[in-house]
Structure formats: C-alpha cells, structure tokens
Amino acid sequence: MDMKTATKKLSLKDKYKLFTRDLGWEPTYRSKEEVFPYVQYEGIKIHDWDKWEDPFRLTMDAYWKYQAEKERKFYAIIDAHAQNNGHLNITDARYLSALKVFLQAISPGEYAAHKGFARVGREFPGVGTQVACQMQAIDEIRHAQTQIHALSNYNKFYNGFHAFAEQRDRIWYTSVARSFFDDAMAAGPFEFMIAIGFSFEYVLTNLLFVPFMSGAAYNGDMATVTFGFSAQSDEARHMTLGLECIKFMLEQDPDNLPIVQAWIDKWFWRGIRVLSLVSTMMDYMLPKRVMSWREAWNIYGIENGTALFKDLARYGIRPPKHWDKAEEAIDHMSHQLMLGLYQWKFGTSFHVWIPSDEDMDWLAKKYPTTFDKYYRPRWEHIKKHEAATGAPFNNYGLPKLCQCCQLPTIFTEPGDPTLICHRESVYQGERYHFCSDGCKDVFDNEPEKYVQAWLPMPGLMQDPLKGDLGAWMDWVFLKDGKDNGDYATSQDRQNFEQWRAQATSNQ
C-alpha cells in the first residue's frame, strides 16, 4: 500500500497570491501604454494598481466549484418546475407581464454586462482587478442564461416571450434599458465600472432584484425565485467590486473626484429612468403585491443610499445631483408610465389592464398624496370611455421620446404633476428633446454621444418602415392580437384559466 504524502495546504492568502497577482507580469518588449491603451484617456489617474484590494480573495478554482454547485441545484429545480406544470401555480396570468418585461428589458442587460466586464477585465492593468472582472463577466453571462432558461418554460405555454432578444433591440419600451447598457459599454473602463459596478450593482440592484424576486415568491413562481437565489450570492461580490473600484479611484488621486462625481450624477439618473419600468411591475403587474414602489424606494433607495453616501462623504463625494427630483418623482412614476403602457398597449409584447377597484384602493393607500388626486380620475375616465365606445382605449398618437433615456416624455415638471416636463437643447443646428433636467444634463455634457441615439418612434417613420404600423409589428416580432393588448381578452388569460380549471377540478 502506497503511503500518501502529506501535501501542504496553502493558506487562503498564499493561494490568492499565486492565483491572481502571480499570474501577472511586466511587459518587456512592449510598453505598458501599448498593452493597456484605454486606461489613460478618461482622465483617471492611478499610481499604484497593487493597492487594489479584493476583499473576497476568491480564486478561480474555488469560483468554479461554487458556481457548479449552484448550477446543479438551479437546473434540478427548473426541471421539477417544468415536469410539474409549475406555470399553473402562479397567482394568475397577469403575473406573466412582469416576467415578460423582465426578460425583454433586463435579462439582455445581464448579457451586455457580461460583455462589458470581459472587456474591462482586459483593459485594466491590475491583476486583482482583472481577475475580479473576469469572474463577474462569467457571472453575468450565467445570469442571462439562467434567466432565459427559467423563463423558457413559460414560453412553451404563453405569448410574448418568444422574441425577447430582437425586442430588446427594436421595441420601444425596452430601449430605456438598452440605451443604459449601450451607453455604459460605449464608455471607457472606469466609467463602465461606475455605471454598472457602482450605480447599477450597488445603488440600484436591490431595487430591481429584491422586490422582483420577492414578487416571484409571493406569486408562486418557483422558477424565478430559483434564478434569484442562484444570482444573489454573486450580487454581493459585484456590489463589493463596484464599491472597491470607486474607493480605489478616489484614494489614488484627488483629481479623480470631480470626474467620479459627474459619473455618479449621470448614472444615478439613468438608473432611475430604467427603474421606472420596475416601478410599474411592482405597483401594477403583480397580482399579489409585495410592497409598493414607494416602500421599496424608502428601504433600498433612501435608507441604503443615505448610508452609502454618508460613507463616501469622507472622499468628498456628495449624493447624486437630482436626488431630490427623483425622490419627488417616486410617488408619480409608476402611475405615469403605466397609463402610457395602457394606451400604447397595441405596441407592447405583454398584456396590461385597468386596475380593479380593489387595486385602485390599494394604490390610493400606498400613494395617499397622489393617486386619488392625479391618477384615479384618468383610470376612471378610461373605464367610462371604454364602456361608452365598446372598444379598448388606445392612443394611436405616437409619443415624443427623450433623446437620452429614450422613454416617451411622460414625466411631469418638478413641483407640478399636471404639466408634462418639456426640455430641449439645440446642438449643431439640430433640435433634441428630453423628459427631465437629469436627462438634458446627460446630453449637454456629451452631446456628440447622444445625437447618435436610435429612437424607436422617429425610427418607425424612416426606412424601411416609413410609418407602417403593421410592418413595424412584423419587424419587432409582435403578433397582433396575441402578444399585445388588454389582459381581459387575451389568449394567455383564456388558456391559463382553462388549464388551471383542468388541474384543480373535474371539468
């Protein structure tokens, strides 16, 4: 019998050193500037890349082991969900609208984040940074995949899931998220880290994932809960990477402060606009609601955000510009956007509906200063109008879009919820419109970047569609009468109710 030789186990610290820092080397026949050409031009000054600390000290071998374990659990549950007709356990088929919006607007963002982190992992010179970015790049593609796989079960039974990838690029309400990620990916590596690593992962991710995953649990969707859990442990690492990165920049050189502050201002506002979609999911689309968008903001926006910016104050960072305007808008944005989605429902690849009296009472309780005063009268009028005309209320007037966030300009003036906010800039003789001061600021700081925006509504009037709505539906893979319109008369509702009745009764 062979004697086993005792192998000396490496300490975590030694292992981290060998698996990260020791993988790097000093270039000899090319200059550092040639090898890493993208780290200078944004104006961020870094003097010592070794000061980068990864508090997780996670090495690749351990990373693969953890991720593989999570994948096994995830796919076991997804299989069980499929085999047991898990789709019939959801509260009712209205819930699917939240899933469709998520799949069309957010999951492709995970994939975009994957591409972005793979790129900045190459562009940053520090080895610790490179390894952390590489892991996040793999996390992000895994998140996109697990989300798509989890929701593919629903695609077998329901409309509106089938063309999320094309709709991400072409349909109008997803362009707020698409433009957010395109903007980040077209930025330099440091700005990308503030956009995705800090603003999205640290400041905003809880507002997206926690309420959404709780919403899935409340509404009986085990598949989505499972991908939420599978992603959650990664998110903690991502948040740390984002925060480490911002502190690293601020500690390396005082000249970095104004650049970092401007990026925080910009990406906070861009993030708020992306979250307006989430606000409608929370307040309107979940049949069984977890908390209102306002309540989520109080916890994850105000409480967490205030603590964070207090912590960053020692570096000279102040809370994002327009924070006060965001705070005021929280009580309005879900209602303003949902009224828009309802009237343009011929062009959505998900279903909408007029809130029931019970739902409106819930909204009035959650928004005591705004819902009854500003928004209930509009829903009631739409209800009356539909009863009088016998037809769904559709607004075939295509909306003006914001050149920055690309949403219809539905948001109101600060201080006056009865008046649309009109803002415009002229750049090189061309006129551009915005939904808010926040979006106008982003444009005015870098007009050359945003003049290139492809906006879905003016796009519809140009080649190849030239204003043909039917041709547009084909082009965005929207099946009229199936994917779009009111939930009340939808095939999704009819099928769900029939299948559920078969599963729960003897009919």
Least distance from another protein to the Cβ atom of residue 387, Å? 13
Least distance from another protein to the Cβ atom of residue 279, Å? 15
Should residue 38 be labelled a site residue for another protein when binding is judged by CB under 8 A? yes
Closest to 368 measured CA to CA, from 323, 331, 343, 316: 331
Which region among 39-47, 115-123, 172-180, 240-248 touches another protein (by CB under 8 A)?
Answer: 39-47
C-beta separation of 222 from 215 below 8 A? no
Should residue 453 be labelled a site residue for another protein when binding is judged by CB under 8 A? yes
Least distance from another protein to the Cβ atom of residue 291, Å? 25
Dihedrals phi, psi of 426, to nearest 5 degrees: -110, 125
Q: How far apart are CA 10 and CA 19, in angstroms?
A: 11
Least distance from another protein to the Cβ atom of residue 414, Å? 14
Q: What is the DSSP letter of 299?
A: I
Tokens representing 407?
């949403």
Which region among 130-138, 149-157, 273-281, 410-418 touches another protein (by CB under 8 A)?
Answer: 410-418
Should residue 346 be labelled a site residue for another protein when binding is judged by CB under 8 A? no
Which residue, 18 or 186, has its beta carbon nearer to another protein?
A: 186
Which residue, 14 or 380, has its beta carbon nearer to another protein?
A: 380
Could you check whether the bond before residue 464 is cis, i.e. omega within 30 degrees of 0? yes
Which region among 100-108, 156-164, 309-317, 423-431 touches another protein (by CB under 8 A)?
Answer: 423-431
Q: Which residues contact 354 (CB under 8 A, 6 or more apart)?
A: 342, 379, 382, 383, 386
Should residue 51 be labelled a site residue for another protein when binding is judged by CB under 8 A? no
Should residue 209 be labelled a site residue for another protein when binding is judged by CB under 8 A? no
C-beta separation of 204 from 305 below 8 A? no
Which residue, 261 or 412, has its beta carbon nearer to another protein?
A: 412
Q: Binding string, 380-399, against another protein, x = CB under 8 A? A: -xx--x-------x-xxxxx
CB atoms within 10 A of CB 359: 16
CB atoms within 10 A of CB 109: 24
Which residue, 116 or 417, has its beta carbon nearer to another protein?
A: 417
Pick the binder of another protein from 258, 316, 458, 481 (CB under 8 A): 458
Q: 399: left (phi > 0), else alpha (psi -120 to 50), else beta?
A: beta
Should residue 433 be labelled a site residue for another protein when binding is judged by CB under 8 A? yes
By rule CB under 8 A, what count of residues binds another protein? 59
Tokens representing 84?
């047991």
Least distance from another protein to the Cβ atom of residue 374, Å? 6
Q: How far apart are CA 254 and CA 266, in angstroms?
A: 20
Crossing angle of the two packed helices 222-252 and 205-218, in degrees rounded to 10: 170
* Beta pairing, strands 430-434 & 416-420: unpaired
Q: Binding string, 301-340, against another protein, x = CB under 8 A? A: -----------------------------------x--xx
Tokens representing 312?
């960053």
Residue 430's DSSP bridge partners are: 427
Pick the binder of another protein from 223, 329, 363, 410 (CB under 8 A): 410
Cα distances (angstroms) measured from residue 311 to each of 14, 131, 300, 305, 433: 31, 26, 16, 10, 36
Which region among 17-25, 236-244, 359-367, 369-377 touches another protein (by CB under 8 A)?
Answer: 369-377
* Beta pairing, strands 423-427 & 430-434: antiparallel
Q: How far apart are CA 488 and CA 476, in angstroms?
A: 23
Q: How far apart are CA 369 and CA 331, in angstroms?
A: 8
Pick the binder of another protein from 276, 343, 370, 484 (CB under 8 A): 343
Least distance from another protein to the Cβ atom of residue 425, Å? 11
Pick the binder of another protein from 43, 55, 254, 368 (CB under 8 A): 43
Least distance from another protein to the Cβ atom of residue 410, Å? 5
Q: Considering all CA atoms of the chain, what is the largest pairwise distance in Å, rounded to the nearest integer?
A: 91
Pick the binder of another protein from 122, 449, 479, 482 (CB under 8 A): 449
Q: How far apart are CA 53 and CA 70, in angstroms?
A: 26
Pick the binder of another protein from 430, 470, 505, 506 (CB under 8 A): 430
Binding interface with another protein (CB under 8 A): 37-38, 41-43, 188, 336, 339-340, 343, 373-374, 377-378, 381-382, 385, 393, 395-400, 408-410, 412, 416-420, 422, 424, 430-433, 444-455, 457-459, 461-463, 466-467
